[in-house]
Amino acid sequence: MPDRAKLALAAIALALATACSHPPARKVIVIGVDGMDPAFVASHWNSLPHLSELRRRGAFSPLSTTDPPQSPVAWTTFITGLDPAQHGVFDFVQRNPSTLEPYSSFGHIVESSFQLPLGPYLLPLWPARAERFYSGTPFWQFLVNRDIPTTIYRVPNNYPPVHAGSALAGMGTPDIRGTLGTFTYFTSDPEQLTHSVSGGEIVHVDPFRGELTLTLEGPPNPLRADHKPATAEIQVDIDPSDEAARFISGNQMAVLQPGEWSSWLTTEFSLLRGLASTRAMFRIYVLELHPYFRVYVSPLNADPADSALPISYPTKFARGIADRIGPFYTTGIPEDTAALRQGVFTLPQFLSQTNLVAEDEHRLFADALRQYHDGLLFFYFSTVDQNSHVLFGVRDDQLLETYQSIDNSIGEAIHAHPDADFIVLSDHGFTTFNRAVHLNRWLADHDWLVTHTATASGIDWSRTQAYSLGLNGLYLNLVGREAHGIVHPGPEARHLLDQIRTALLAWRDPANGNPIVETVTSPNPAPSQANRAPDLIIGYAPGYRASWQTALGDAPNREIEDNTDPWLADHCVNPARVPGVLFSTLPLRATNPALKDLPVSLLRLYGVTPPKEMTGKNLF
């Protein structure tokens, strides 16, 4: 072919490619920082130069949160543009009115209903699937429908990820065991017996001549009729003359001394010998080797390079990230506050673990910036929130270091993409948690709840009118909704709610005379959410929060007590007390911005008309 003809064909091919491609979409980078507090930021401007730059270039404002101001509630509003009354997520912990059993608001696994029995095994005829609980359409679905490139990293309550754009799942993603994160603590301390604790398993072991085998409990085997958990083993050799031990998992080895973390190790859990298995990855931390053996093994994370869980969309998205940067935490809340609260970690040891999480987050973010070209990029950071729970108001200098690490990443993003619009937001702020409120005991002392024991299983439902479950919810024992309801809907229910509301707002702490509750609201749910919604949402005063026992429906013997837990700060209070933050390089066109305004505003930036159910205002 003559050179002139070749040049003509090349020109035609280039013209066709140009005609079929879309022009670059507007560049918008949205950074979600869970728990970033506006007052804390405002008192540390000089230490946060990149946030200060965003304020100078555009705008900074407190951001009204949801009622209640809890992460799954707030981020679901960010996802859908709907209030909780419409999207149906009201708390970390919700209840099934038919059974009165608590469940996580993040979603659940639906097993295959058709299975083939084969001896001790049940072979599913199609795979189990994960389902989300919220209602509404994620706002980025409308962008993808308009061919706008969209990438979503780790937004909470996006498990399994919506099939739109590219996404990595966030808070709500389980570990391989199907829990929200279960550590294992192996110890030879004779005072520690094998038992379960909240968020973990304590396993007593007895090294013999410096050797032992650690058995990891994996996922319930879905192929077995009895769902017996699969297991895997770690071989350990303790050096008798040195403070070191060798850990072997499969063909991987780590040699560790006390105070050291392993890199990521992988293991296989056999489900059907030679035919089916599940891969998991974990990290080991050595607390002590002599005189007692004390070793922490992290929750079993899905391996992003070969995940049995739907942690990304498309599936190859997570695999591609792992190919570029290596393994990273995939559980939805990777910071292990449970190990701190159960006394396995000291505070410095816990912070060393959250530093590992932060390193993963920053590697992920740096890779996201390298891969990003145009359209919408959302990235979520978790460590400010989790570190605030144990540092806020007491160790602010240490907490500032976490804020500064996020600030540095924001600076890297500004440098990498100076032509992008930037938005930084948080779902809520923070306050202190000094006094734990046992709301069910208060209800019992007012004869609205009758209990035989201090646990939820001891409640006498035939005489109970109201109960609390979750961190902010209060429910009536309603006829036609609860399994054993005694309160009739209508005037009887409204009168009872008025009585409870009045009494809660008049409640004072006997230790200091301070009000315990500042707001009591009714969610007014959409008809589709009526059975799921609480009847009242309790907005505690700063310094107060529902106790851990209340969250699970229990009723200890006192109404209120000092909080002595390492978890010393929180945000499950009156939402007006804990607004989030909003930074933007774009000037704000509206006052009093709220979290539900963001999805509407992001759609408007791309010329997309929001659906009518999104009632937020346009901010930019």
**At 312, phi and psi to the nearest 5?**
-150, 160
Lowest mean pLDDT: which of 69-78, 82-91, 106-115, 194-203?
A: 106-115
How high is the pLDDT of residue 125? 44
Same domain, 561 and 508: yes
Give the pLDDT band of residue 127 (cuts 50, 70, 90). low
Q: Enumerate the H helices of 30-138 as residue ranges.
A: 38-42, 49-57, 71-80, 84-87
Kindly state the average pLDDT of the residues 294-300: 97
Same domain, 161 and 238: no
DSSP summary character for residue 26:
P
How high is the pLDDT of residue 522? 96
How high is the pLDDT of residue 480? 95
Q: Enumerate the H helices of 419-572 as residue ranges.
A: 439-445, 491-506, 548-551
At position 560, the amino acid (one-letter code) is I
Q: Is residue 414 part of a domain?
A: yes
Q: Which residues contact 42 (CB under 8 A, 6 or more apart)?
A: none
Residue-wise pLDDT tens digits, 258-277? 999 999 999 998 877 766 77
Q: Is residue 123 part of a domain?
A: no
Neighbours of 458 (CB within 10 A): 12
Same domain, 246 and 161: no
**At 381, phi and psi to the nearest 5?**
-110, 135
Same domain, 503 and 568: yes
**Is it the case that residue 51 has pLDDT exceeding 70?**
yes
Same domain, 156 and 189: no
Give the pLDDT band of residue 36 (cuts 50, 70, 90). very high
**Is it the case that residue 171 has pLDDT exceeding 50?**
yes
For residues 518 and 574, the answer to whether their CB atoms sit within 8 Å is yes
How high is the pLDDT of residue 114? 46
Q: Which residues contact 331 (CB under 8 A, 6 or more apart)?
A: 173, 174, 175, 180, 181, 299, 301, 302
Same domain, 275 and 343: no
Q: Check residues 178 and 344 and name the one with the higher pLDDT.
A: 344
Q: Given the DSSP bridges, would you call strands 93-96 and 59-63 parallel, antiparallel or unpaired?
A: unpaired
Instruction: Please give the Cα distance from 162 to 56 (Å, whole number).
Output: 35
**At 80, phi and psi to the nearest 5?**
-100, -20
Residue-wise pLDDT tens digits, 508-549? 999 999 999 999 999 999 999 999 999 999 999 999 999 999
Mean pLDDT over each residue of the chain, to the nearest integer: 92
| Domain limit, last residue, from 302, 324, 354 | 302
Kindly state the average pLDDT of the residues 137-150: 98
Q: Is residue 254 part of a domain?
A: yes
Q: Check residues 8 and 320 and name the one with the higher pLDDT.
A: 320
Same domain, 425 and 439: no
Burial of 92 (0-12, 13-18, 19+ CB in 10 A): buried
How high is the pLDDT of residue 366? 98
DSSP summary character for residue 548:
H
Kindly state the average pLDDT of the residues 176-194: 93
If one counts the domains in the chain, the total is: 3
How high is the pLDDT of residue 37? 98
Same domain, 507 and 551: yes
Give the pLDDT band of residue 225 (cuts 50, 70, 90). low
How high is the pLDDT of residue 304? 96
Percent of the chain with pLDDT over 90: 82
**Is it the case that residue 325 has pLDDT exceeding 90?**
yes
Q: Is residue 313 part of a domain?
A: no
Measured CA distances, 380 to 368, 427, 471, 582 (Å): 11, 11, 24, 14
Q: Is residue 525 part of a domain?
A: yes
Same domain, 264 and 339: no
Q: Scanning the structure block, which residue is given the tokens 């006192």?
A: 558
**Structural domain of 153:** 27-89+134-173+332-430+578-605
Percent of the chain with pLDDT over 70: 91
Same domain, 411 and 526: no
**Is it the case that residue 14 has pLDDT exceeding 50?**
no
Same domain, 32 and 167: yes
Same domain, 164 and 200: no
How high is the pLDDT of residue 120? 58
How high is the pLDDT of residue 308? 85
Q: What is the CATH number of the domain that holds 156?
A: 3.40.720.10
**Is it the case that residue 170 has pLDDT exceeding 90?**
yes
Structure tokens at 590: 């509206």
How high is the pLDDT of residue 3? 55
Q: Is residue 120 part of a domain?
A: no
Residue-wise pLDDT tens digits, 332-366? 999 999 999 999 999 999 999 999 999 999 999 99
Instruction: Please give the Cα distance from 108 to 130 (Å, whole number).
Output: 6
How high is the pLDDT of residue 220? 82
Q: Is residue 8 part of a domain?
A: no
Q: Is residue 590 part of a domain?
A: yes
Instruction: Please give the Cα distance from 393 to 389 (Å, whole number).
Output: 10
Structure tokens at 140: 């980025």
How high is the pLDDT of residue 314? 97
The C-alpha torsion from 108 through 112 and 115 to 120, rounded to 10°, is -20
Give the pLDDT band of residue 13 (cuts 50, 70, 90). very low
